[in-house]
Structure 1
Amino acid sequence: MHLSALVAVPLVGVAVLTAATTRSSIAEAASATRAEAAVGALAHLDTARSSVEQEILPTLALAVIDRPATATDLGLPVAVLAQQRAMVQATLQTARATTDEALAQTARGTYGADAAVRARAQLSTLRDRADTFAVSVEGIYLGYLAISNDLVHTQRAVAAAATAEGLPPRTQRAIQDVQVVAQLATAASRQTPLYLGAVFGGTGTLIGSQLAWETGWLAYSDALEQMQELSQTSLRTAWEGARGVEVSRTLDQLLGPAPGGGRPTSPDVSRMLSLLQQSGERDALLSGLVHTAADSARASAAADRDQAVDRRNRTLVGAVLVVLLSLLSVLVVGRAVARALRVLAGQAGHVSDGALVQVEVAGPREVRTVSAALASAVASLRRVQEQARAVARGDLDNALLAEPLPGPLGEVVHASVRQIVSSVRQREELQSALAHRAAHDPLTELPNRAQARQLTESALFRARRSGAMTGLLFVDLDGFKAVNDTHGHACGDEVLRAVAGRLESAVRSGDVVCRLGGDEFVVLVEPVAAERDLLELAERLIAEVSRPIAVGGHQLRVGASIGVAVGRDAATDADVLFAEADAAAYRAKRHGRGRAEVFDETLRAQLADRAELEAAVAAGLAAGEMLLHYQPVVDARTGQLTGFEALVRWDRPGVGMVPPDVFVPAAEGSRLICDLDRWVLHEATRQLAAWRGSVPLPPGHPEPTVAVNVSGRHLADRQVVTDVADALAASGLPAHLLVLEVTETVLVDDLVAIEHLVALRAMGTAIAIDDFGTGYTSIGQLRHMPVDTLKIDRSFVASTDPGASELVALMIRAAHTFGLTVVAEGVEEPGQLDRLRAEGCDHAQGFLLHRPLPPAAVEALLARTAVPAPR
């Protein structure tokens, strides 16, 4: 009984599969039948459409003959036309009879019946009105054309229904051939009326429009082109025959546009009557070609139907045979298998109780197969047991754990082992990835600034031991900012990647290319035989970088200025070598760009001067010579004061006020910038806290903030978080009133600095991107950066270049989209402020609003908005 049940399961599957296959075959046969009917309707509809269009010319001719005034307007001889009236009348009656018969056949079918009924009703009305002169000549033409268009649209709908039946490609192509031929027949049948209308009609009528004639000729030409795509060889042969008939060639020459353009030449009456006859002959020829294509498509659909019926019959016969053979097998094998299965069932019972007994393989073939499977399962269970014991012992290097195990239990154990191994490997890969990320530039995958310094230190150490020279080439790109400004930061990133690849391909295998950040690279060369070798390498690098770079369909060009420095003695360290190469690159830029300069004694003297300035800055900072000026930041809409930017100044004894662009770069070359930043943080927070205590503001007036610039070097220092916290604690200023301004380069290139920004932001301070648009940050990166404010660089605010204002508007909208506030820098003209207000900019600062003010002037400014003291 159980065996019978096991056999019945596949039989049920066979029955289900047979039923599904049979239903599919029946559905295919029905689809083919419907497609065959649709193709037949296509032929009838084309006959009806052709007949309707055949009525146009005789109907128009009768209208002209019976209305002498119309003939006179068209310049036609009434007497000659009247002689042809009987022939025209006979032609019209024949065309009407053909039309009525085709519409009657279509109305009796499944497809297009509604259109046929509608066409008969419209034709009846139109004919009556034409026969009683109740409609104009143009109205007759447009009426017939509307009926013809309705039939053409119905043809397309019927063709779409036929192709939607899911037929084989061969039949689909045959149906498409019918559509192509029908389209040609339609375009051809409309040529003669449009041609005659262009000859005799005026420019103010639709029929007489030369544009209508030319458009009709273009449609006919397009249809001729599509005839080249017919899929059936026999149909293409029939078309070539029809195309070669004299009447087709004659009409193509007559009805086509004149070589010089303009309105076609007016034919005489006899030639016009011959044209009408030839047009009818060609229409009949093309209508026959449509029927030929339709017959071929119907034959293909019928063949599809017959094949579907044949598949259904074969499926049914095969299913019956399978069922009969299965039942016979059950009767023959059932008794022998049942007896052996009882023995096997006992052994399986022991296994299910947890006793991994030895399974004996005996009995009929079917039972032996099951017994062998059970024995294999028992062996697998033993391996599962051994693997479980190995895992329990912690023996994860056991080779047995690498072997896959069958069965659910084996999969669980093996998956557990794989998970353990995978976890260990993932941890190792993560550590490797973090180490790589900390030492490499994420954009180009080159070693970053920190790694470049470490590699240079190691190279110099090896050089000291060997006595060899070490070379460092500082590569500063020329024209890269123009690429960013013109094509966007994403394009600039692609250029940087291309430059990195070119630099790597141009150096020796042992030399190292690093990216310091922005558009600055260095090449570490060791060992160096002679200084001229470094100059030759620099010239090669300049040539490589200067070649055009294809990005996004554009051919972009950048150049390179290279500074060369050589480490020759044991006293040189990495920082010195970097400073020398940087100074040489700066001189290369000043001397015309696109060149290489070697660090020499002149530059050494300049560096000495810079070191002297750095020492003077350090001494001035210690002596209290530094001071802060504060540039107000206002609400762009209301003009209300919202904060200040702290700007450092140096009142140097004997010199006077030193601009920050003179001494700040010197401080940025060393850790002195961290000391300067620390002093500015403490002084700015102290000053704002003092103003808060001495100058009370009116209710509802926002508390002003103070913005302090933090250098990239200081931000990368792990002490920066402590420095900010100490300044806030010492001054008592709430953290949310302090804004830390950083450059874009820091946000893009320094992962450690970004971590520090996250910590500072968590402390409550606000973070602003300073001079946005001059670096390499794309707008899309803003959403992932730990910032609160975007400060648009003054160069964009003041620019009069085309598209500059749109770029500023884009920056403002993008910042607002990511929840950032916007401050526009360098506002110096009323028109600039008006544009910023119109674009919804939040805040503004610049000389138009306020110049940087000393503390006393700021206090006076605050006093003007303060609450009056009580009397």
Structure 2
Amino acid sequence: MSATRPPGERAARDGAPLWLYLTALVLVPLLGVAGLTTVMVRSAVVESGSAARAAAAVGTVARLDAARSGVAHEMIPSLALTVIDDPASATELGVPVGQLATQRTMTLAMIEQSRAATDDALAPAGTVDSPTLADAARRVAELRALVDAHDLRVDLLYDRYLALLDDLGTAQREAVGAAASEELPAATLAATRDVQLVGELVTAAIGQMPTFFGAQLDWGRSGDFRQDWQADWAAYTAAQQVMGRLSQDSLREEWQAVSTSPAVTSVDGVLAAQAGDAAATALPLADLVRLVIGTSARDAALTDLLDSAAERAQDLAAADRARATDHRDLVLGIAAGLVLVSLLGALWVGRSISGALSLLADRAEHVSQGRLVDVPSVGPREARTVSRALASAVAGLRRIQHQARAIARGDLAHPVLDEPLPGPLGQLLHASVEQLVDTLRQRDTLQSALAHQAAHDPLTELPNRAQALSLVTAALHRGRRTGHPTGLLFVDLDGFKAVNDGHGHAAGDDVLQEVARRLRDAVRPGDVVCRLGGDEFVVLVEEAGSERDLLGLAERLIAAVSEPMTADGSAVRIGASIGIAVCRDADTDADALIAEADTAAYRAKHRGRGRAELFDEALRLQLSARSEMEAAIVAGLAAGEMTLHYQPVLDLAAGRLEGYEALVRWERPGVGTVPPGDFVPVAEESSLICDLDRWVLHEATRQLAEWRAADPVEPGEPEPTVAVNVSGRHLADRRILADVTDALAASGLPPRLLVLEVTETVLVNDPVAFTHLAALRELGTTIAIDDFGTGYTSIGQLGNMPVDTLKIDRSFVASTQPGHPELVALMIRAAHTFGLTVVAEGVEEEEQVAWLRDQACDQAQGYLLSRPLPAAAVAALRRPAVPAGA
């Protein structure tokens, strides 16, 4: 007997041993634990760093506020001293000479006190100090030298102080923004935003007294300073009004105490009186000095409030940092424990099942080679379960073996053949013939069901559009043979969208089912009710009789549909508008008859809904004109009659060209310029709009690529984009992705420079279009919602939409109705909240540009900035700017 193992046995011994698989099984989760631990630790480190940076930024806010307050309080007595020490200036500014000595003593004391406070605020606070504070200290020293030496006129000295205050205020806002931009827990972020609110109040309070002082002094510029002070006073009062949004109760209580304190109310009362009276006279110098002293007390109280807010934010940030550090240590400890437990568990599992599986593998190898050996049940519960299953399989195979031997011997009467195999397999063999018969019957039933589904609407069980066309075609053929007219009623529901929007789609389905039942009950025997889709139905009437009969039937249908009904547990009421078309000749086909009835239904809706209209000669002429227009559009596209005009879109902040919107124009030979409102709606009613969109995509991208090559922008400047309007029909077409990629490939234009504009109605009502839009955005193009505000999109939906830009409709931008400016401001803020760029359309007045810029609107377009221009004219308009007067 040879000692060499058979080939099958050698093959069974090949491959990795069990311990290797167990090792891999353990290593995979361990690697996952390690990776997850790394991510969590890194997250904790990032969270700790964010908290530290936020705390530092909040501290910087407090220091900058103290510095700005000190400079503001030092500025006014310094200006007063300059006036007092210059008799000519004092006389020119109307300061009584007899008060100069008294006022000079008081002013010097105020200067000494304010300078000490400013020096404390500007003193270095560590090894690394703010460059802004260091620069401010240098500039303050220069200004003090000029004040002490009387080397600068009072108005010039005022301007330099004001510039320093503006720089400190800008640095303070940047520090607040840096703190608020960190990824922080909700409580800390809310506290940081509290710092921002209080900081804006303090900034407004500190900034108003210098401009008020300038407005009080009559040096020829008081009118400008009064305007500046009025603006600062408005900013201060506005900042007071939003203090109610403070998130911390204690801080709100502290603000309530500060706002009602004499230090605040006395100063605010004087300033409010000055602000409210346009004819108010300037305060005497003594009163002005007392007001300055009072302002110092008020600003100190507000600064203390800011210090409290900053301290709370810093404490929360420090607590966040400590929690992040503790979380990191906890994660590391848990990860180490998991690794140890996993290793010990793997060792125990390996030892417990290795022996049992080895024995089971040996028996399975014998069975696989056709040797039906006994299989013992050993090892863990799972291994025993597998052993018993294998033993049961071996028993079944032995019974099959006995049956096979009986058949091989020809012993077909042997009792073993009557013994079915246990389980489903034995039952399957016994019932194979019966199952075959059942299968054939099921096939016939399924074919009938599929045929019915192909011809009927699944919701209402009415014939669908395809079946309706077939039925109308057959009826027309019969009508031609018999000479009887064929009537078609197009039923379009009124108010169905409100049911869907107000009660949900389940209620809408109930309404459609009830309408289908009512229509079936109201028509004559032999008339056929079909559902074309959505809320549109048709009623086919053979041997229609007179038009009066059809009108009577239509009125009965309208009455039946208009009865109250219950949908999904809610009482609803809808109506119907019906169009009637009658075929009396041999030239009308099914599509044409449905189109005629649809046109009549549209007129019924237009004339007030809830009525029936007959298709007449006027509507026939309208359809004929539309057909002619469609043919002319096809010919115009083929003949190159279409052109594009480009309307610039401008950046309001930078005053530079941001891009263009491509607008189609048609110069029709023999007709002249065809307004877009005459031919675009016609194209949108058919697939022609897809052809028109496709042409605009290719032409607009080609033109921008040509401009881009001929006149490249300077390095670092943004490149202009081109916006193309895409219709809802085209966006729902499966070829839209290919159309956009083909246009980009043909022109060589980067996707980021193409903006696709769609209406908000398309986004809300068409899920397929929504999916295509998301894919186009993934391609790299920019997506814009056009004419926002005219549809039904909720502002809260913006965050879930695949869009980048929101274009506010011109009707809101130009509106003077009460509430519309606030609505536009709300749109801008909401869009910015979701990271969207905002474009204002239809800007035609300089005041609109100024207002939009104040509201932080990003871009604008309109006749004030530029009309749509031909390509040749746009090529010369490479760097337009927002009007200087705006």
Displacement of 1:596:
8.5
User: 2:323 maps to what in 1?
Assistant: 307
Is residue 344–residue 371 contact of structure 1 (8 Å, CA) maintained in 2?
A: yes
TM-score, normalising length from structure 2?
A: 0.51
Alignment partners' CA distance in 2, 1:31 and 1:327: 36
Alignment partners' CA distance in 2, 1:807 and 1:529: 40
Q: Quick check: 1:278 aligned with 2:272? A: no
Q: Which residue identity is paired with 2:82? A: A
User: 1:185 maps to what in 2?
Assistant: 202
Distance 1:536 1:7, change over 3 A: closer
Pairing partner for 2:193 from 176, 180, 190: 176
Distance 1:183 1:295, change over 3 A: same
Displacement of 1:563:
7.8
User: 2:173 maps to what in 1?
Assistant: 156
Q: Quick check: 1:295 aligned with 2:311? A: yes
User: 2:861 maps to what in 1?
Assistant: none
Alignment partners' CA distance in 1, 2:325 and 2:676: 68
Distance 1:433 1:115, change over 3 A: farther
Q: Quick check: 1:96 aligned with 2:135? A: no
Displacement of 1:61:
1.1
Please say which of residues 530-539 and 47-56 is displaced more in the overlay.
530-539
Q: Which residue identity is paired with 1:78? A: V
Alignment partners' CA distance in 2, 1:22 and 1:33: 16
User: 1:772 maps to what in 2?
Assistant: 629
Alignment partners' CA distance in 1, 2:608 and 2:106: 91
Is residue 528–residue 534 contact of structure 1 (8 Å, CA) maintained in 2?
A: yes
Alignment partners' CA distance in 1, 2:98 and 2:453: 103
User: 2:151 maps to what in 1?
Assistant: 134
Q: Which residue identity is paired with 1:74? A: L
Q: Quick check: 1:454 aligned with 2:474? A: yes
Is residue 359–residue 374 contact of structure 1 (8 Å, CA) maintained in 2?
A: yes
Alignment partners' CA distance in 2, 1:52 and 1:34: 27
Is residue 459–residue 526 contact of structure 1 (8 Å, CA) maintained in 2?
A: yes
Pairing partner for 1:340 from 330, 333, 356: 356
User: 2:257 maps to what in 1?
Assistant: 241
Alignment partners' CA distance in 1, 2:172 and 2:561: 63
Which digits, 9 at most, give the CA deviation of each residue in 1:299-338, with x for residues without a partner?
Answer: 1011111111222232233334334444554666654444
Displacement of 1:365:
5.0
Displacement of 1:188:
0.9
User: 2:225 maps to what in 1?
Assistant: 209
Q: Quick check: 1:219 aligned with 2:239? A: no
Pairing partner for 1:61 from 80, 85, 99: 80
Displacement of 1:285:
0.4
Alignment partners' CA distance in 1, 2:29 and 2:247: 45
Aligned 1:78-93 pairs, distance under 5 A: 78-93=97-112
Is residue 486–residue 543 contact of structure 2 (8 Å, CA) maintained in 1?
A: no
Counterpart secondary structure, 1:772: helix
Distance 1:301 1:558, change over 3 A: same
Counterpart secondary structure, 2:628: strand
Which digits, 9 at most, give the CA deviation of each residue in 1:402-432, with x for residues without a partner?
Answer: xxxxxxxxxxxxxxxxxxx99x999997997
User: 2:498 maps to what in 1?
Assistant: none
Distance 1:269 1:100, change over 3 A: closer
Q: Which residue identity is paired with 1:247? A: A
Is residue 475–residue 563 contact of structure 1 (8 Å, CA) maintained in 2?
A: yes
Displacement of 1:279:
0.6
Aligned 1:627-776 pairs, distance under 5 A: 771-772=628-629
Displacement of 1:121:
2.3
Counterpart secondary structure, 1:135: coil
Aligned 1:331-730 pairs, distance under 5 A: 335-347=351-363, 361-364=377-380, 368=384, 445=465, 451-455=471-475, 509=521, 511=523, 512=528, 523-525=539-541, 534-538=550-554
Q: Which residue identity is paired with 1:311? A: H
User: 1:48 maps to what in 2?
Assistant: 67
Alpha carbon RMSD of aligned pairs, Å? 6.7
Distance 1:514 1:309, change over 3 A: closer
Is residue 506–residue 540 contact of structure 1 (8 Å, CA) maintained in 2?
A: no
Displacement of 1:33:
2.2
Alignment partners' CA distance in 2, 1:503 and 1:795: 47
Displacement of 1:69:
2.4
User: 1:28 maps to what in 2?
Assistant: 47
Distance 1:593 1:282, change over 3 A: closer
Q: Quick check: 1:228 aligned with 2:247? A: no
Displacement of 1:362:
2.3
User: 1:77 maps to what in 2?
Assistant: 96
Displacement of 1:181:
0.4
Is residue 46–residue 287 contact of structure 1 (8 Å, CA) maintained in 2?
A: yes
Alignment partners' CA distance in 2, 1:593 and 1:285: 65
Displacement of 1:176:
1.0
Alignment partners' CA distance in 1, 2:273 and 2:372: 95
Displacement of 1:222:
1.9
Alignment partners' CA distance in 2, 1:195 and 1:346: 99
Distance 1:173 1:397, change over 3 A: farther
Is residue 473–residue 522 contact of structure 1 (8 Å, CA) maintained in 2?
A: no
Alignment partners' CA distance in 2, 1:528 and 1:115: 89
Please say which of residues 361-370 and 90-99 is displaced more in the overlay.
361-370
Displacement of 1:45:
1.5
Alignment partners' CA distance in 2, 1:375 and 1:103: 89
Which digits, 9 at most, give the CA deviation of each residue in 1:590-618, with x for residues without a partner?
Answer: xx99998999xxx9xxxxxxxxxxxxxxx
Please say which of residues 259-268 and 89-98 is displaced more in the overlay.
259-268
Alignment partners' CA distance in 2, 1:13 and 1:40: 40
Q: Quick check: 1:143 aligned with 2:173? A: no
Distance 1:98 1:350, change over 3 A: farther
User: 1:656 maps to what in 2?
Assistant: none
Displacement of 1:174:
0.8
Counterpart secondary structure, 1:119: helix
Q: Which residue identity is paired with 2:628? A: D
Counterpart secondary structure, 1:134: coil
Distance 1:213 1:358, change over 3 A: farther
Is residue 58–residue 89 contact of structure 1 (8 Å, CA) maintained in 2?
A: yes
Q: Which residue identity is paired with 2:234? A: L
Distance 1:350 1:398, change over 3 A: farther
Q: Which residue identity is paired with 1:98? A: A
Distance 1:244 1:514, change over 3 A: same
Distance 1:523 1:367, change over 3 A: closer
Is residue 488–residue 538 contact of structure 2 (8 Å, CA) maintained in 1?
A: yes
Alignment partners' CA distance in 2, 1:35 and 1:565: 78
Alignment partners' CA distance in 2, 1:70 and 1:399: 117
